A and B are shown apart, each in its own frame.
Chain A
Amino acid sequence: MSAKTQTLREPLLHVDMLAPLVVDETTPYSAVLQRMRELNRGSVMVCRRETVTGVFTERDYLYEHCLEGVAGDTPIGKLMSTPPVTVKVKTALGEAIELMHGKKFRNLPIVDDKDRPHGLLTVGAIIRYLAEKFPAEVMNQPPTFQVTKDAEGA
Chain B
Amino acid sequence: MTTAGVICPDCGHANLPGEEDCSACHAPISVLSTPQPKQGMQAKILEGTVADLAPRPATIVGKDATVADAVKLMREQRSGCVLVTNGRALAGIFTERDLLLGSGPARDPSKTRLADLMRKDPDFLREDQPVAFAFNKMTAHGQHHVPVQRPNGSWALVSARDLLRYLCS
Report A49-101 residues with CB < 8 Å from chain B CB.
Answer: 58-59, 61-63, 66-67, 72, 94, 97, 100-101
Contacting pair A140 B28 (CB below 8 A):
yes
| B132 sits at the interface (CB 8 A) | yes
A77→B121 CA distance, assembly (Å): 38
Quick one: which of B23, B42, B80, B99 contacts A151, CB cutoff 8 A?
B23
Report B106-134 residues with CB < 8 Å from chain A CB.
Answer: 109, 123, 125, 129, 132-133
| A130 sits at the interface (CB 8 A) | yes
Contacting pair A138 B45 (CB below 8 A):
yes
Query: Main secondary structure on chain A at its contact with chain B?
Result: helix
Query: Main secondary structure on chain B at its contact with chain A?
Result: helix
Expressed in whole angstroms, the minimum distance between the Cβ of A9 and any Cβ of chain B is: 12
Quick one: which of B39, B42, B74, B161 contacts A137, CB cutoff 8 A?
B42
Per the CB 8 Å criterion, the residue count for chain B at the interface is 50
Contact with B along A115-139 (1 / 0, CB 8 A): 0000000011011101101101111
Contact with B along A1-33 (1 / 0, CB 8 A): 011110110000000000000000000001001
Contacting pair B160 A123 (CB below 8 A):
yes
Query: Chain A residues with Cβ under 8 A from B105's Cβ?
Result: 30, 72
- Range of interface residues on chain A? 35 or more
A148 (CB) vs chain B CBs: closest residue: B25
A60→B82 CA distance, assembly (Å): 17
| 9 interchain pairs, CB-CB under 8 A | A8-B168, A58-B100, A63-B74, A66-B71, A66-B99, A101-B161, A101-B165, A149-B11, A151-B26
Seed contacts A97-B168, A130-B41, A138-B139; 16 additional CB < 8 Å A-B pairs? A3-B41, A33-B104, A37-B100, A58-B97, A61-B100, A62-B99, A66-B103, A67-B68, A72-B105, A106-B161, A124-B144, A137-B31, A137-B46, A141-B28, A147-B11, A149-B24
Q: Which residues of B contact A (CB under 8 A)?
A: 10-11, 23-28, 31, 39-42, 45-46, 68, 71-72, 74-75, 80, 96-97, 99-101, 103-105, 109, 123, 125, 129, 132-133, 135-136, 138-140, 142, 144, 159-161, 163-165, 167-168
